[in-house]
Amino acid sequence: MGFDFLFAQPTFTRGFSRSLDFWGMADVYNVSDSSETADAMAMWADWKDVGTDLVEAVQHLTLPETAKAA
């Protein structure tokens, strides 16, 4: 799950159809059971991204010098 789980995923077809949708009937968003659930999912996604960044930073710091130069 990425940071955009509460938003509709854009496609060319949706983008084109939105230009013809003058009343906003085509806007579809992902929903959660409650605001607390949405907040919990957003916080989980944020911490997941922080963890991914930390793993990448540690891997970069522990690489041999020859691999860093490449």
The pLDDT value given to residue 5: 61
pLDDT (tens digit, 0 to 9) for every residue of the chain, 70 residues total? 555 666 667 788 877 877 887 777 766 666 788 889 888 988 988 899 999 999 999 988 887 766 656 5
The pLDDT value given to residue 1: 55
The pLDDT value given to residue 56: 92
The pLDDT value given to residue 70: 57
pTM beyond cutoff 0.75: no
Sign of CA dihedral 41, 44, 48, 50: positive
CB-CB contact of 3 with 49 (8 Å): yes
CA 64/CA 5 separation, integer angstroms: 37
